[in-house]
Amino acid sequence: MQVFLSALSDAALDTLKVLPILYLAYLLVAYFSHSKSGKFTRFLNKSKKAGPLAGAFLGCVPQCGFSSVMSDLYSRRAVTLGTLIAVFIATSDEALPILIANPNFIVDLLILIGLKIVFAVAFGYLVDVTISLFARRKKKEESEPILAEELEHGHDHCACHGHGDHKGHCSEKNIFLDALHHTVNIALYIFFATLIINIIVEAVGMDALTSWFGGNVYIQILLAGLIGLIPNCASSVFLVELYINGGIAFSAMFAGLCVGAGVGLIILFTKNIGKKKILENISIISLLYIFGIASGMLVSLFY
**Which position has the higher pLDDT, 278 or 174?**
278
Residue 188's pLDDT is: 79
Instruction: Please write the tens of the pLDDT for every residue from 124-182.
Output: 999 999 988 877 555 555 555 544 444 344 444 444 444 433 343 444 457 788 778 87
d(CA 226, CA 213): 12
pLDDT of residue 35: 56
| Cα distance between residue 234 and residue 151, in whole Å | 40
Residues contacting 221, CB < 8 A, separation 6+: 249, 251, 252, 255, 293, 296, 297, 300
pLDDT digits (tens, 9 = 90+) for 78-132: 889 999 999 999 998 778 877 887 788 889 999 999 999 999 999 999 999 998 8
| pLDDT for the residue numbered 172 | 47
pLDDT of 34: 60
pTM of the model: 0.72
State the maximum Cα–Cα separation within the chain, in Å, rounded to a whole number.
Answer: 60
pLDDT computed for residue 141 by the predictor: 53
Using the predicted structure, report yes or no on whether residue 287 has a pLDDT greater than 70.
Answer: yes
Predicted local confidence at residue 103, as pLDDT: 82
Highest mean pLDDT among 55-59, 203-207, 235-239, 282-286: 282-286
Could you tell me which residues come within 8 angstroms of residue 195 by beta carbon, excluding any fewer than 6 positions away? 7, 8, 11
The answer to whether 260 and 90 are in contact (CB under 8 A) is no
- pLDDT number for residue 157: 40
Q: What is the mean pLDDT of residues 183-198?
A: 74
For residues 34 and 214, which has the higher predicted lDDT (pLDDT)? Answer: 214
**Residues 6 or more apart in contact with residue 265 via CB below 8 angstroms:** 67, 71, 88, 229, 231, 285
pLDDT for residue 158: 40
Please list the residues that pair with 155 across neighbouring strands: none
Query: For 242-268, how does the pLDDT look when each residue is reduced to its tens digit (9 = 90+)?
Result: 888 777 899 999 999 999 888 788 889
Sequence-distant (6+) residues with CB within 8 A of 47 are 54, 79, 83
Which pLDDT value is given to residue 289? 96
The confidence band for 47, taking pLDDT boundaries of 50, 70 and 90, is low
Q: Please give the residue that has the higher pLDDT: either 281 or 172.
A: 281
Confidence of residue 298 (pLDDT cuts 50, 70, 90): very high
